[in-house]
């Protein structure tokens, strides 16, 4: 949906709302391991995305946090706008 950025992190262990410890064990495949998906964009864009995927979210925790962007862009000096 054209968001400015996203990061997906999968955790090896988590403690969910059902008071059950979810772990990654060698002999057991677990489909309920914790996952964090972090989006970076303006609030209206994120809210529009959340509305679009609301039916896909069966459970979990969704938070909206404000951030101060210190730098956004590339490390390549040839792409500098100054």
Query: 41, 5 in Cβ contact below 8 A?
Result: yes
Beta-sheet strands, E only, within the chain: 5-10, 13-15, 21-23, 35-40
Between 63 and 13, residue with greater pLDDT: 63
Tens of pLDDT, residues 19-32: 666 666 655 555 66
Sign of CA dihedral 53, 8, 80, 71: positive
Model confidence, pTM: 0.61
**In Å, what is the CA distance from 22 to each residue of 8, 28, 59?**
18, 11, 15
Tens of pLDDT, residues 4-62: 888 998 877 777 666 666 666 655 555 667 788 898 888 899 999 999 888 888 777 88
What are the boundaries of each domain within the chain? 5-79
């Amino acid at each position: 949906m054209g968001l400015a950025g996203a990061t997906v992190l999968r955790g090896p262990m988590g403690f969910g709302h059902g008071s059950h410890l979810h772990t990654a064990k060698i002999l057991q495949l677990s489909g309920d391991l914790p996952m964090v998906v972090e989006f970076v964009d303006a609030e209206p864009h994120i809210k529009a995305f959340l509305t679009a995927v609301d039916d896909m979210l069966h459970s979990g925790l969704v938070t909206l946090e404000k951030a101060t962007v210190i730098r956004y862009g590339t490390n390549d000096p040839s792409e500098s706008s100054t």
